[in-house]
Every structure is written in structure tokens, then in C-alpha cells.
């Protein structure tokens, strides 16, 4: 299981490849994951937003975890697997977290409860209850998706809970990570790709970075340079990735990413499940231009 000291470097939230009929595509997942595992990544996240968690069935999560373990064994590589288990119902989140533990998850990623807009105290109790399962918890602050923003004090109190090992920060800026590192909190992972370098500069220890599904080695380079204290070189390396990051988030994630992976023949199809839809022709042309001019 993951510990605080393990939350560093690049964690890649994996896509869930589908066949054209919408069913899981194990062969594509194996091909795609083999390429990722050849890179110096620190872990993968299964069943996150990039993996289309709202429309993926739990039995499919089980299959993705099984395939991930086989791929890691074949690569002779120890790769931590984080499983997304967050919902807006504490009892369901606890059940999913327990099931993830039975699957051998190294940690779980638990978002702030969404839609029902609980109080700050309610959110703290939500995390306290989930952490009692014994599976290491990475809290996930993403107000753009949940409809509620955590205060710095709330995040600090969540990070003080036994069993919570760190935070994925998708708060929309660097203020939260800056304040948390000033206060000496547990590790913070960047969860908003465009702020990756800025958050590393403010004390983040790494990131759960969707864009790192492509040009993975370049994201790893940014992490390594920042870790060595060479912030200027890390900025130069990151700046080369900015056009890609901006393009990948022009339309809803993971549709642009899946199109790009299919275009590169890493997965067989860019199929997404409704209500997600494929990307526009205009964005396809933009992504092709970014990679043809690289």
C-alpha cells in the first residue's frame, strides 16, 4: 500500500478503451498500458474521470485492475495502482473502497461528494469514515466538478486524518498548494495539468496528470528537473507541453485524449460512452497539427 513518501512524480490516470460497440477493449488496454509502463511513471489511476468512472461498471474496474497487474508483471515492474472510489454517498464510497482493497489497490482516490453540496464538517466526516476502511486515501479537491469548494482549514483537517495520505489538488490555481506546503501538510499532487509546473514550484510533490498519457517522458522530465531544484529548466520543458495541454482540455476530458491515442494506434477506437461524445473536426485538426509540427 502507498505511503505519504510514495506520492511523488507522475501518476497517470488511465483511459478505459472501448470497442466501437461500447464494450471494454482489453487488447487495446494491454497495448496502451505496455507503452506507459515503459516510462518512468510512479503509478496509474484506474477509474478516475479520465477513465470515464461515471459510466464504467464495477466488474469492468475489476477487469482493468487484473489486466494492469498482468501488464506490470510482464514488464517486471512494480507499479502502484490507485482506484477511484469516490461518490456522493458515504456508504457507497466506503463499500467501493473496501472492494478496491480486496482487489489489492495501493490507494484509493476519493473526490469531495458532488451535487448534494454537503457542509465542510460533513465532508470531513465523509473522509474520516472512508479512511477507517484501512485503504490509503488520496483526497481529491475538484470544485469545478463537485459544486463545493473546500477551505484551507477543511483540507488541512482532512489531511490530518489517519489513513489519508495526501491530496490531489484540482482547485483551479496555486493558492491551496502554496498554503498547504507553507503549513507543512501531507503531500499534494497537482490535478490540473496546466498548473503542473506552477504547483511543483510551490511545493507539490508530483501530479496525477491526464495529459501525461501522451508525451509521457516529457512530463516525467519536468518532474525530475523540478525535483532536482532546476525550476528554470523544468519551466522550459513544461512550456513545450502547454499547447498540447490546452488542446486536450478544449473539449471534455477524455474525448480529446482518446481520439489522440486512437490516432496514434495505441487504442482501437476513440469511442466514449454517452453522455460523452467524440471531439469536433476542428479539434482533430488542431491536435494533428500539434503532433505533425513536433
Residues with Cβ within 8 Å of residue 52, at least 6 apart in sequence: 15, 16, 254, 272, 273, 276
Answer positive or negative: Cα dihedral of 55, 122, 4, 214: positive
Predicted confidence band at 165 (pLDDT cuts at 50, 70, 90)? very high
Where is the binding site for pyruvate, in residues?
Answer: 50, 208
Whether 176 shows a pLDDT value over 70: the answer reads yes
User: What angle do helix axes 26-37 and 58-74 make, rounded to 10 degrees?
Assistant: 40
pTM score, whole prediction: 0.97
Whether 292 shows a pLDDT value over 90: the answer reads no
Helix, strand, coil abundance in the chain, percent, nearest 5: 50, 15, 40
Percent of the chain predicted with pLDDT > 70: 100
DSSP string, 214-230: SSHHHHHHHHHHHHTT-
Where is the binding site, in residues?
Answer: 50, 208
The CATH number given to 4-292 is 3.20.20.70
What pLDDT score was predicted for residue 223? 97
Whether 286 shows a pLDDT value over 80: the answer reads yes
Residues serving a catalytic function are 140, 168
CA distances for 106 relative to 30, 82, 179, 219, angstroms: 20, 6, 27, 23
User: What angle do helix axes 281-292 and 255-263 make, rounded to 10 degrees?
Assistant: 50
30-38: average pLDDT: 97
DSSP string, 189-205: EE-SGGGHHHHHHTT--
pLDDT tens readout for residues 214-273: 999 999 999 999 999 999 999 999 999 999 999 999 999 999 999 999 999 999 999 999
Residues 18, 57 contacting (CB under 8 angstroms): no
Whether 293 shows a pLDDT value over 80: the answer reads no
User: What residue segments make up the domains of the chain, in order of their start?
Assistant: 4-292
What pLDDT score was predicted for residue 15? 98
What pLDDT score was predicted for residue 158? 98
What pLDDT score was predicted for residue 294? 61
103-129: average pLDDT: 97
Residues 214, 261 contacting (CB under 8 angstroms): yes
Residue 148 to residue 263: CA distance in whole angstroms: 36
Residue 253 to residue 267: CA distance in whole angstroms: 16
Whether 122 shows a pLDDT value over 80: the answer reads yes
Q: What value does the mean pLDDT of the chain take?
A: 97
Q: How far is CA 25 from the centre of its chain?
A: 20
Amino acid at each position: 500500500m502507498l505511503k505519504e513518501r510514495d506520492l511523488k512524480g507522475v501518476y497517470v490516470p488511465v483511459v478505459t478503451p472501448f470497442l466501437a460497440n461500447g464494450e471494454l477493449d482489453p487488447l487495446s488496454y494491454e497495448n496502451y498500458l505496455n507503452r506507459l509502463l515503459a516510462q518512468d511513471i510512479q503509478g496509474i489511476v484506474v477509474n478516475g474521470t479520465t477513465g470515464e468512472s461515471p459510466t464504467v461498471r464495477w466488474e469492468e474496474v475489476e477487469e482493468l485492475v487484473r489486466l494492469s497487474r498482468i501488464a506490470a508483471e510482464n514488464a517486471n515492474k512494480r507499479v502502484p495502482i490507485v482506484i477511484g472510489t469516490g461518490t456522493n454517498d458515504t456508504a457507497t464510497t466506503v463499500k467501493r473502497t473496501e472492494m478496491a482493497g480486496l482487489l489489492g489497490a495501493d490507494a484509493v482516490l476519493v473526490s469531495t461528494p458532488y451535487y448534494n453540496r454537503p457542509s465542510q464538517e460533513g465532508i470531513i466526516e465523509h473522509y474520516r469514515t472512508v479512511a477507517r476502511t484501512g485503504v490509503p486515501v488520496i483526497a481529491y479537491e475538484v470544485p469545478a466538478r463537485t459544486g463545493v469548494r473546500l477551505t484551507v482549514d477543511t483540507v488541512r483537517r482532512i489531511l490530518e486524518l489517519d489513513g489519508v495520505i495526501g491530496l490531489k489538488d484540482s482547485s483551479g490555481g496555486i493558492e491551496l498548494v502554496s498554503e498547504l506546503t507553507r503549513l507543512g501538510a501531507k503531500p499534494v499532487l497537482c490535478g490540473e495539468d496546466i498548473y503542473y509546473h506552477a504547483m511543483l514550484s510551490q511545493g507539490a510533490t508530483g501530479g496525477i496528470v491526464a495529459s501525461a498519457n501522451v508525451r509521457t517522458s516529457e512530463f516525467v522530465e519536468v518532474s525530475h528537473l523540478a525535483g532536482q531544484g532546476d525550476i528554470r529548466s523544468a519551466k522550459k520543458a513544461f512550456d513545450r507541453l502547454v499547447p498540447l495541454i490546452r488542446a486536450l482540455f478544449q473539449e471534455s476530458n477524455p474525448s480529446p485524449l482518446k481520439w489522440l491515442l486512437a490516432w496514434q494506434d495505441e487504442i482501437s477506437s476513440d469511442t466514449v460512452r454517452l453522455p460523452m461524445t467524440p471531439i469536433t473536426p476542428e479539434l482533430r485538426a488542431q491536435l494533428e497539427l500539434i503532433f505533425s509540427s513536433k
